[in-house]
Amino acid sequence: MKGRDKLHAPGRYATTKLANGLATGGKMTVDSAYRMMGASKTLGSKLKTREFLKKTDADVEDLSSTEQRRLGRLTARADGGRVDLDADVAKLGAKHDLDTQTVARLQRLTDAGEIDNAARQRLDELLDEGEMDSDDVQMFAQALELKDQSAYLDSDLDANNVLSVGKKGDLSEARVIVKVDSDVRWMEEGDIDGGWEHIVARHIEGEHEMGDTGGSGIFPTGETVKGQEMPETMSNKDVKRLVFNSLKDGDASPHGQKTKYYFEPSTNGYPSSGIDSMRVLVYPDGSVETAFPLSGPKVMRYVPGLNGGKGGFVNP
């Protein structure tokens, strides 16, 4: 027994020294640091764990003992190869420098069966290929965790659905994600030309592309557009919900290379909206370009050619 104790003494000494060093940084107790260091079996892996912890801003004391031990196993930075399918999520976190909170989320989702080996492999590939980054992984985990609670996330989503958004678009910017049959549709924050920012600029605030001869339908959120106050039956959040429902329950039809979704809010869950019909236009990749109301008692459409070219509103 003495010989065995002697053999392991240097390892115990290194663990204690590194744990004390981490605790001195003020982010955790010696006990917590020791639990994480103890999960790493070699001095090299202990050093990797320490370096990983130094890079994170997470409050380690908020993690459970089990999560702290998992964090201690964040030492599997592969030499350019794939993460083993059966390896801990922690190895994926270490390889791609994911923060501790995201790693803990991924582990919970794995334990709950939301992320299987194939999905973890695909996530690893997308990170390796530069198709996704750490911000995208945070949204990936958030979407799976909150899909049964959020009005903007479809409860039918699975890990592969969300990863397909990461492959085709900017997952970290996704504001609405919907599963439509075997496809996925989503709305990103976007910019002035497409996505949520465009919808706000043109069809809520009325400050962009208002010279379009086809006119611009304005959602009734109470904004003042071109000097006229719009009706107020909903908020911007309600507009996002309408986009979700249009994609999920609307009638889809081709629109050139794009797809358009037709939805009737007033008879499908939004009786007080004052919107009888609306449309959502989707790019070929599945992301939302725009959404606007078509008709209803509270819908105002700005037409630039009215009043001798000065522009004005009609109620379609």
| pLDDT per residue as tens digits for the range 252-264 | 999 999 999 999 9
> At what angle are helices 159-168 and 134-146 packed, to 10 degrees?
150
Reduced to 3 states (helix: H, G, I; strand: E, B; else coil), residue 294 is strand
Residue range 131-145, pLDDT digits in tens = 999 999 999 999 999
Q: What is the DSSP letter of 58?
A: -
Q: Which residues of the chain are modeled with pLDDT < 50?
A: 1-13, 26-27, 30, 35-36, 39-41, 56-58, 69-70, 72-86
Closest CA to 263 of 288, 291, 238: 291
**Which phi and psi (to 5°) does residue 84 adopt?**
-55, 135
Positive or negative torsion for Cα 128, 130, 141, 176: negative
CB-CB neighbours of 257 under 10 Å: 7
* Helices and strands of the chain, counted as H and E runs: 12, 11
Q: Which helix (H) or strand (E) holds 31?
A: helix 30-38
pLDDT attached to residue 83: 47
CB-CB neighbours of 94 under 10 Å: 24
The domain ranges of the chain are 14-75, 78-167, 196-314
pLDDT attached to residue 212: 85
Contact 95, 83 (CB under 8 A): yes
**Which phi and psi (to 5°) does residue 251 adopt?**
-90, 125
Contact 259, 286 (CB under 8 A): no
pLDDT attached to residue 214: 85
User: Residues, the chain, total?
Assistant: 316
Q: What is the 3-state secondary structure (H, E, C) of 147-191?
A: CCCCCCECCCCCHHHHHHHHHHCCHHHEEEEEEECCEEEEEECCE
Largest Cα span, the chain? 100
**Partners of 174 in the β-ladder:** 188
How far, in Å, CA of 316 to CA of 313, rounded? 9
pLDDT attached to residue 31: 53
Contact 152, 240 (CB under 8 A): yes
Output the pTM of the full model.
0.73
Q: Which two tokens stand for residue 182?
A: 């075997």
Contact 40, 75 (CB under 8 A): yes
